[in-house]
Amino acid sequence: MNYCHRRFKAHWLNAALCFVLLALVVQLEPVSPRGAAQTSEQPSTTNEINGADEAFVEANRLRREQTKDSNLRAVSTFKEAAELYRSQKQYEKAASSLRNAGELLEVLGDAHTAILLYNESLELAQQAGSRGEEGRVRAALGFMQFIVGNTDEAYKQGVKSLEIGESIGDRPLIALGLNTIGEAYYNLGNLTKALEYQNKSLNLARDLGDRKQEIRCLVALGHYYANLAEPKRSLEFFDLAVALSRQTQDIRGEGLALVGKSFVTMKTREPQETLDILNEARPRVERVGDRTSLATLVGRMGIVYFDMGDRERALDFVKQGKRLFEEGSEKWGVAEGLIVLGRIHHAFGEDQVALNHLKEAVEVFKSLSMPRLEAQTLVDVGRVYTSLGENVKALEAYQQSLKLLKRGQDQQYEAYSLNYIGNSFEKKTDYKTALEYYERALPLSRVSADQVVVILTLHNIAHVERLLGHLDSARQQIEESIALSESLRTKVTSQDLRATYFATVHQNYELYTDILLSLHAERPSEGLDAIAFAASEKARARSFLETLQESRANIREGVDPALIEKERDLEAELNLKAERQLKLLASHEKDEAEKLGSEIAALTNEYSVVRDKIKSASPRYAALTSPQPLNLEQVQQQLLNDETDLLAYTLGDDRSYAWLVTRTTLSTFALPSRKEIEDSARRLYKIFVEHQVVPGESSSDTIARQSKLKNELPLETALLSKLLLAPLAGKLGNKRLLIIPDGALQYIPFRALHDPDSDGQVAQFLLNKHEIVLEPSASSLAVLLKEARERKAAANSVAVIADPVFEVGDPRVKRALKQSTPESAESMQVKQALRDIGISADGVQVPRLFSSGEEADAIMKLAPWGTGLKAVGFEANRQRVLGQELSGYRVVHFATHGLINDQHPELSGIVLSLFDSEGRSQDGFLRLHDIYNLRLPADLVVLSACSTGLGKDVRGEGMIGLTRGFMYAGASGVIASLWKVDDVATAELMKRFYVCLFGKGLTPAAALREAQLGMSREPRWQSPYYWAGFVIQGRYDSEVSGSQFSYLTVQRFSIIVSIFVGLVTLAVLIFRVLKGHRRHQVI
């Protein structure tokens, strides 16, 4: 219902403010010891004086280099100068040196040592009687206390530094004191006072011409206005800070201003711009060694990814940020990391873990006197309690949050709290009270400039209006919510982020569809069902549709070659690290594997950034227009005919729908909720998966287990068939069905479900009367069909890549084992990965697929004469696939092992030969990004490997995996498997398939149906486990068949030759008989 519950506002608020003071306190020009007041004690020698002064000057020179290393060396040199000054009893100079060292330690994130140095400096300044230096040290110490979370102490030190500055007329010190007090007020939640003090500091800095202090104030004010829901004004301050930093060559100031700017774009939901800004800031932050800024930066990247629905990547970044804050003992930063971790774990359904993180954060913010952050955390606590069914505790948390928030300052969080309170009343079916809270939240959400909370509020109003029967009002609200969602989506360049973001707002379309169909039931003449269908289609596989368009545009043309080279380098590095991780997982070194996983996540992010830069720099990409999903009329005209219908499913939390579209009609059918359907689908899929052979299991145990599954299969099949197909009884006829599944239905072999029109007591499979083709969406199918019909067909029929060499001991390897090169780590890692997924029992020996060689032979006998390619053994290698040769074939067939990563689909792939004919180890893993880079304009790709039809299921987008990779590469259709199918059964199915494809001239969909029907009627193969796992996606029309080729296959040629030889032999015999007869007559 509340679709945005996973899209929470990012905090990390104090990080930005820590940057503010940290930036410029550190960068302020130190008071020269030469200009300091002289103590009564004089140094003993001139050499000592010169040594101390020289150290101080050298430390400042190092500081101006603005690198991490130079900052570290500057700290040591300042401390060296301090000791020399102390030995000379030059206490003011010693205090100044230690203060400067402390400021640099703040930058480097060593808060504990910085505080020790500040306290030591303070004693020296007081001992010297230097009020000015004491004031500067107190300002620095106050900021350091702010960083570690001691806000009250920070305020006290700020006040003292201001008093000292005013008493001695030191205007730069007054500016510092005003700034520190302003930051303390910000932390205490009093933005009015914070603005008052910070503006005074800014004006004074400008009067003094103090550029570093001016940058410091600008960054602080940028954050204040961001939290006052004035993003435009906030950006003006940050942009001024960026420009001034560049003008003065202040690298750290520029980094801080950019990170601050990202805070605004994150709040206003500009994810791509936020990531771009953070990626621009990162090298600056890393150069100077600013750990606090880096912690905030990576944590913020995690928040952006989480907001866009990419939880796994978000988790990696947030953990990195939290770890950096822990290293610096910055409690507020750690607590903010706990907030985001709580949200992520809640999104994963791990509510108790989430609650523990959030409660810990609440206690930290209480101890640090940070009411705003405490209030924001309580909102998340309430959400988790709601999820746990503890509605009373949830309401208490929301109401406590509202009490802590300041009116007129925290509209964004107030709007979230009101939404969640409304949701609590909605769960109690008190819809009117819920609506009151939602309507209170709406104006606040609009003022906050956070479009996501506006989208959430409009969705919630629409949902409760629908429950109250106010359908027209509900429609108006949800249409506005969808329009805002779409506007956000278009601002994201990354297709990966677009896909994950769209998953978070998919419920908007589900609700919209439901409202329109409810209105259609009341007013059937208005064509609202057609609008509902179009809305449903618009919610399907949008990123895939855009990716298909992009793939045909050659977007790399005209792009800087350095970017292209960087992309290739990252691909290679990703391959190596992913293979290394597989090895660690296989050897159960989980800690090391997790560490490497973080590196892979960082590389994946960098790779994504480079790809996005390529798009941004590509003239061809800029010329692309966003493809528009098809409406009902376009679907009927472009995709359907008298023999083809479309059956699409939309699963919803309250109810689901099936759409049956013919060339002239549209019918909709209400189905049970998403949960009921998906629970049934998962039970059925589990039966298919558990039918597989378990390594090491005894034959008797296998028989017993499979017998039990055999009894369960008809019951679960009947149940799911009833849920999905029973309402369609009498509607399906005998037509080809283009099925668009949703959610867990993507794992289901529809061909093995029961026909709702089955006659008699025995249920018939849907396959008996229907060709079945799965599609990601109607719109993506239209693109595939259009491109296939427009391009010139390849000259050759089929290329078969099969029976690779996985072991150096394979008898096909020519040299003896002792002469071969040692097996590479890469091939070992692939083998161990295959063991983990049950292909290799021991992780050492990868079983050879003997049947795949027989499969290849059978296909070549059936292929039209002279048009096939058989690449088996050593020829089934990665380089052959990456070359251009396969682009000349209409069908490309892979018969080998597959490896699917459903969390990181980019690491999925297929395994080819790991050794060459001389026993030399070679890279044999074809990963998904390799597939995306292929040029393979085939009519059909057949993946005769395990589970190749699976991948990462992204809600609203569908299954992201190998199938889409080959479609992106140019394939019009793909046949792949939903589970690990028996090797012998696969070979048998493929032989029958090609008999139908080449021997009978059937289309791929018809050929697959014919092959599966034949197997289902034989006792040995009748279980759907053996034949139903292979499904076809994409193109289905008759042009896919091999009708353009001569049907003079190897098999037919052999028959013709045999007949010819027989006739010749017969003729010779007849000739001899006649010749002998004539001789006899002559005699």
Residue 132 near residue 173, CB atoms below 8 Å = yes
What SS3 state is found at 1068?
helix
The pLDDT of residue 409 is 67
pLDDT-derived band at 788, boundaries 50, 70, 90: confident
Q: Name which of 672, 635, 894, 907 is nearest 775 in CA terms.
A: 635
Residues in the chain: 1083
- Report the C-alpha gap between 789 and 700 in whole angstroms: 53
Mean pLDDT value across residues 780-798: 87
The pLDDT of residue 215 is 95
Tokens 């790709």 locate to 941
Other Cβ atoms closer than 10 A to 111: 23
Instruction: Return the top range by mean pLDDT from 161-175, 583-597, 941-955, 984-998.
Output: 161-175
In this predicted model, what pLDDT tens digit does every residue of 652-698 receive, in sequence order? 888 999 999 999 999 999 999 999 999 999 999 999 988 877 777 78
Is 899 or 869 the better-scoring residue by pLDDT? 869
Q: Name which of 588, 586, 585 is nearest 597 in CA terms.
A: 585
In the chain, pLDDT over 70 holds for what percent of residues?
81
- Report the C-alpha gap between 589 and 827 in whole angstroms: 18
- Report the C-alpha gap between 1061 and 1041 in whole angstroms: 32
In this predicted model, what pLDDT tens digit does every residue of 122-132 receive, in sequence order? 999 999 999 99
Mean pLDDT value across residues 335-362: 94
Q: Name which of 683, 675, 757, 747 is nearest 713 in CA terms.
A: 683
In this predicted model, what pLDDT tens digit does every residue of 1009-1063 receive, in sequence order? 999 999 999 999 999 999 999 999 998 876 544 444 444 445 555 565 667 677 7
Mean pLDDT value across residues 697-711: 84
Q: How many degrees, rounded to 5, is the angle at CA 251 between CA 234 and CA 103?
A: 95
Extended strands (E) in 957-1078: 958-961, 973-977, 1030-1034
Mean pLDDT value across residues 619-626: 61
- Report the C-alpha gap between 23 and 257 in whole angstroms: 9
Average confidence score pLDDT of the chain: 83
pLDDT-derived band at 47, boundaries 50, 70, 90: low
Helix axes 506-522, 451-467, angle to 10 degrees: 30
Instruction: Return the top range by mean pLDDT from 480-484, 504-508, 750-754.
Output: 750-754
- Report the C-alpha gap between 147 and 292 in whole angstroms: 9
The pLDDT of residue 127 is 94
The pLDDT of residue 64 is 93
What are the beta bridge partners of residue 706? none
The pLDDT of residue 990 is 92
In the chain, pLDDT over 90 holds for what percent of residues?
47
The pLDDT of residue 962 is 87
Other Cβ atoms closer than 10 A to 492: 22
Residues contacting residue 840 through CB under 8 Å, at least 6 positions apart: 831, 832, 834, 846, 847
- Report the C-alpha gap between 26 and 290 in whole angstroms: 11
Is 571 or 323 the better-scoring residue by pLDDT? 323
In this predicted model, what pLDDT tens digit does every residue of 567-582 receive, in sequence order? 888 877 877 776 666 5
- Report the C-alpha gap between 960 and 747 in whole angstroms: 13
In this structure, the dihedral spanned by the alpha carbons of residues 457, 463, 465 and 471, taken in order and rounded to 10 degrees, is 120
- Report the C-alpha gap between 564 and 557 in whole angstroms: 10
In this predicted model, what pLDDT tens digit does every residue of 898-930 receive, in sequence order? 877 766 676 788 888 888 888 887 888 888 888
Residues contacting residue 185 through CB under 8 Å, at least 6 positions apart: 155, 191, 193, 194, 197
Per-residue pLDDT at 207 exceeds 80: yes
In this predicted model, what pLDDT tens digit does every residue of 179-201 receive, in sequence order? 999 999 988 878 899 999 999 99
In this predicted model, what pLDDT tens digit does every residue of 82-91 receive, in sequence order? 999 999 999 9
Burial of 46 (0-12, 13-18, 19+ CB in 10 A): exposed
Helix axes 506-522, 495-504, angle to 10 degrees: 50
In this predicted model, what pLDDT tens digit does every residue of 916-967 receive, in sequence order? 888 887 888 888 888 888 889 999 999 987 767 676 666 656 667 888 889 8
The pLDDT of residue 182 is 93
Rounded to two decimals, what is the model's pTM?
Answer: 0.72
Helix axes 13-27, 371-387, angle to 10 degrees: 150
Mean pLDDT value across residues 623-634: 79
- Report the C-alpha gap between 54 and 77 in whole angstroms: 10
* Antiparallel, parallel or unpaired: β 656-661 and 644-650: antiparallel
In this predicted model, what pLDDT tens digit does every residue of 146-170 receive, in sequence order? 777 788 898 999 999 999 999 999 9
Burial of 83 (0-12, 13-18, 19+ CB in 10 A): middle
Of 155-159, 487-491, 539-543, 825-829, least confident by mean pLDDT is 825-829
Residue 573 near residue 668, CB atoms below 8 Å = no
Residue 439 near residue 418, CB atoms below 8 Å = no
